[in-house]
Amino acid sequence: MPKNHQITEPIRVLLADDQALVRGALAALLNLETDIEVVAQTGDGRNVVALAEEHGVQVALLDIQMPNVNGLEAASRLRAQLPDCKVLMVTTFDRPGYLRAAFEAGASGFLVKDTPSAELAAAVRNVFVGGRVFDPLVTANTLGDGANPLTEREREVLSHAQAGTPVAKIAAGMFLSVGTVRNHLSNAIGKTGAANRIEAAHLAREQGWI
């Protein structure tokens, strides 16, 4: 943060994490900072945009794995509806694919949950003034990792497949033919080196590709 930047009021922060203990701990740590105030909390990604708007949130700390709407989708919605609200992803999963997806969703930062509290607070301040903060180890891994090999359609089909949804139902829900869905699944299976669509979905999720 620039030395000449003066913060006259605490930075208004929202925490979204489906683990109540983790959320509470993060809130307690951040509220110890005189220039940061946690004004809203939720364990459901569906509530992020509404809470951010209601409480005038300036920085949203989002976990990736949340029920109903995950952190990446919540970040995309925030970017579309409240573009002035900065997003900092804070997650247990330090997978390179997630860093790439977070960047594509409009996040200004990506940190793992074992980041020291002082660094987390510094990251909030940094993204608030327009900076970017990305975990150095994850960034290094990402630079050495290949891009997501799956197309948007393949990612969407695998997202449905990981829940065991029948091909016919996936096809109906995506308004595609059964043959087209089978082709997308076959391509995804080949790209992930999996034995079947369930394994392909699992491997893709492990890599942060879906």
At 115-142, the pLDDT tens digits run 888 999 999 999 999 888 876 655 555 5
- What CATH architecture applies to the domain 152-206? Orthogonal Bundle (1.10)
Unique residue bearing structure tokens 């809203």 = 40
End-to-end CA distance of the chain: 33
Cα-to-chain-centroid distance, residue 14: 14
pLDDT at 65: 86
Of the candidates 155, 187, 188, 194, the one whose C-alpha atom is nearest the C-alpha of residue 174 is 155
pLDDT at 3: 47
Where do the domains of the chain lie?
A: 11-143, 152-206
Q: Which long-range contacts (CB under 8 A, 24 or more apart) does 28-33 make?
A: 29/117, 29/120, 29/121, 30/117, 30/120, 30/121, 30/124, 32/117, 33/121
What is the rounded distance in angstroms from the CA atom of residue 110 to the CA atom of residue 119? 12
- Judge whether 198 and 165 are in contact, CB under 8 Å: no
pLDDT greater at residue 111 or residue 30: 30
Of the candidates 22, 36, 21, the one whose C-alpha atom is nearest the C-alpha of residue 86 is 36
The tokens describing 101, both together, are: 């997806």
Pick the CATH number of 11-143 from 3.90.550.10, 3.40.50.920, 3.40.50.2300, 3.30.70.20: 3.40.50.2300
The per-residue pLDDT for range 26-68, each reduced to its tens digit, is: 999 999 999 999 999 999 999 999 999 999 999 999 998 888 8
Is pLDDT at 1 greater than 60 in this prediction?
Answer: no
**Percentage of residues in the chain having pLDDT higher than 70:** 88
For every residue of 47-69, DSSP letters joined together read GHHHHHHHTT-SEEEE-S--SSS
pLDDT at 120: 93
Q: Are strands 133-134 and 109-112 parallel, antiparallel or unpaired?
A: parallel
The whole-chain average pLDDT of the chain stands at: 85
